Amino acid sequence: MAEKKDAIYSQVKQLGVLTAVPLILLIGPLVGFFIGGWIDRRFQFYPWFTVLFLILGFVASGREIARLLRQILNDDKKNGPE
């Protein structure tokens, strides 16, 4: 019975990761775009801060996905086959 619960937990965890990755890839650049656009409109620097913050959003998303995958790989090594 415990094996069945572990298998379900593993599947739910994988589903969570699979839904989180596209959201992370979407949210980071969007936040960067809107913050950069706001700064550009506020100080008339268009398009410099929009481009800068958009790039920073992509970098932040990439780093977050790498951190998430590293964490999952470490969890899999700890809970690996026994």
70 within a domain of the structure (yes/no): yes
13 within a domain of the structure (yes/no): no
Quick check: pTM over 0.85?
A: no
6 within a domain of the structure (yes/no): no
8 within a domain of the structure (yes/no): no
Q: What is the number of structural domains in the chain? A: 1
Q: In 1-82, where does DSSP find H-type helix?
A: 2-43, 48-78
Tens-digit pLDDT profile for residues 16-70 = 888 999 999 999 999 999 999 999 999 998 899 999 999 999 999 999 999 998 9
2 within a domain of the structure (yes/no): no
14 within a domain of the structure (yes/no): no
10 within a domain of the structure (yes/no): no
Tens-digit pLDDT profile for residues 49-60 = 999 999 999 999
Domain that holds residue 63: 23-76
Residue pair 61/29 in contact (Cβ under 8 Å)? The answer is: yes
